[in-house]
Amino acid sequence: MSTPSDDSSWSVTAAHVIIDQLISLGVVDIVACPGSRSAPLVLAAARADQRGQLRLLMRLDERGAAFLALGIAKAKQSPVAIITSSGTAVANLAPALAEARFAGLPLLVISADRPATLIGTGASQTADQIGMLGNLPLAVWRIAAADQAPSAWQATVQRAVLGASAALGGTPGPVQINCELQPPLVGQSHPWSSRSLIPVSPLAEPVAEVLPADRRTVIVAGDLPVAQGRALSLEAARAGVPLLAEPSSNARFGPAAISAYRYLLPALAGGIERVLVYGHPTLSRPVTNLIQRRDIELIVVPQGSRWVDPGWAVDRIATRVSLAKTDGRWLRRWTRADRQFRAGLARLDRDWSGIDVAALVWEATAGGQPLFLGASNPIRDADLAPVTDGSPQVFANRGLAGIDGIIASASGLALGMARPVTALIGDLTAIHDLGSLVQPRIGPRIDLKLVVANDQGGSLFHSLEYGDPGVLADAPDDAFERLFATPQTVDLVAVARACGARSTVVTDGRELRSALRLPDPGLHLIDIHLGRHDRRRLELACQALGHQSVDEVSMGHGDCGSLAQSAA
């Protein structure tokens, strides 16, 4: 390393040790924002970037930077570091860390700080950063430049990276290293030696438990990584079991996937005897009601050390299961009802809506292209798209299912995958993250098609109980629009252009198909103006159509009976 001199700095040394150790542990993406206290860390990262050892991405604000890092971690399923300066910069990471914590994504916060001796003294930009992020980090470690302890710093970084990636078990998530750096913040590094990493043995692969075909079974699939979702779709098709797969499960394709499951489930739920739950299902109340039942066998296959059990009704946690092949009669009942539903939906007299937009976006990306779905209605509309033989690679922030940071997350996904990404979001989601439309002039280009289903407000609330005029009968006349729908008139096209992005207004399906086919580079916002006041009528019509479709199948083909009875 460098030779000692009068301008050697232990803060600079600590920064070099941290960045070197991250590289040794395979961390190749760092996102940072400008700041003074974090300068040693950012300069060390920039030198490593210049040597080709990692990629340093600079952003203007910490909130967007953290969601960008989250998108990269989602794409790569490996730790991504975020460097921040001190003070409110650290607090701005909280929304993205909350999503990462509950989505199981490995983020590594490296927060620059003042020395501990300044805490509580009123020194500029000084706060107690230990605990500033609450219980969101899985763990918090400290590095103090004043300790002059490179070996301890290296060991701390390894602990943090292993913890974030759950290499020793558990569930991945965000962790924090709080770095107390004192002046001088620039200068030469003291000599130090690289410490060998402690070897880590891989976790053993469990043997699958085979479940007999003696109960009418459905598979519920929530948010899952692409590879796991693909395998689950094939397993459901092989066993002949209905697959109730949310879009971000990456299992919503193939002969076992039921496109309208959330509308068929209320009428078919009584026949279910066993449920297998994968991932984190969050989209529909019928599914939530199903996995809270105590009169069925409920088996959860968890990711890491967390599992879904909102009704405290889980009978068994299985690390890995396989289903014995059924005779397919139970699945055929679901698929026939699904076909009836789709035929009825095509006949409904309705306006062009978000459901149609989502179907076209799904169709355009079904060849395995990356698709990022925003929360609220867009992901639920995609959940009603026709099932195809293949599907997009679907990503979404479903840990806490917030509408914030979605443009940044989708941008991070595009950077992480090094591929063009299509994102489908709502107008309020877009407004939440307008700052992420600003792309740096220096750095890699992001290829992102941002499709905005713009219905000038929160149309999801039309389909909830608040959209029932009778529920708000005693409220002020403007209660629904003012308190829930929150109508907006932002010109997203103008905003996008002001931020340097291309933008297009789309008015019908033909124009949307054309816009989706364009292989245009960079950031392109496609603004689709829709009405939302037909939403409640459409939701009620779909609920009625679900019951009707099941009734027609039951009358036409009879009850399938239990698999145990048919086997006998």
Residue-level pLDDT, tens digit, the chain, 568 residues: 444 456 789 999 999 999 999 999 999 999 999 999 999 999 999 999 999 999 999 999 999 999 999 999 999 999 999 999 999 999 999 999 999 999 999 999 999 999 988 888 888 878 888 999 999 999 999 999 999 999 999 999 999 999 999 988 899 999 999 999 999 999 999 999 887 787 877 777 777 889 999 999 999 999 999 999 999 999 999 999 999 999 999 999 999 999 999 999 999 999 999 999 999 999 999 999 999 999 999 999 998 888 999 999 999 999 889 999 999 999 999 999 999 999 999 999 888 999 999 999 999 999 999 999 999 999 999 999 999 888 999 999 999 999 999 999 999 999 999 999 999 999 999 999 999 999 888 889 999 999 999 999 888 888 889 888 888 888 888 898 999 999 999 999 999 999 999 999 999 999 999 999 988 899 999 999 998 888 999 999 999 999 999 999 988 754 444 333 332 2
**Distances in Å between the alpha carbon of 436 and those of 86, 93, 132, 246, 399?**
22, 15, 24, 27, 21
Residues 6+ apart with CB under 8 A from 567: 213, 214, 327
CA distance 225 to 30: 22
Residues 6+ apart with CB under 8 A from 346: none
Provide the Cα torsion 232, 236, 242, 245; round to 10°.
10
Task: Name the residue among 465, 480, 352, 367 with its Cα closest to residue 422.
Answer: 367
Tokens of 270: 């009584």
Which domains are seen in the chain, by residue range?
Answer: 8-189 (3.40.50.970), 217-347+537-568 (3.40.50.1220), 351-533 (3.40.50.970)
At 27 the three-state DSSP class reads coil
CA distance 53 to 31: 14
CB atoms within 10 A of CB 514: 11
Spatial contact of 530 and 357, defined as CB atoms under 8 Å apart: yes
Torsion sign over Cα 423, 429, 434, 435: negative
Task: Name the residue among 422, 438, 434 with its Cα closest to residue 526.
Answer: 422
Task: Name the residue among 217, 219, 235 with its Cα closest to residue 227.
Answer: 235
CA distance 21 to 363: 44
At 37 the three-state DSSP class reads coil
The secondary element (H helix, E strand) that includes residue 32 is: strand 29-32
The secondary element (H helix, E strand) that includes residue 360 is: helix 354-365
CA distance 322 to 275: 13
Task: Name the residue among 500, 511, 365 with its Cα closest to residue 424.
Answer: 365
DSSP sequence for 168-185 = TSS----EEEEEE--S--
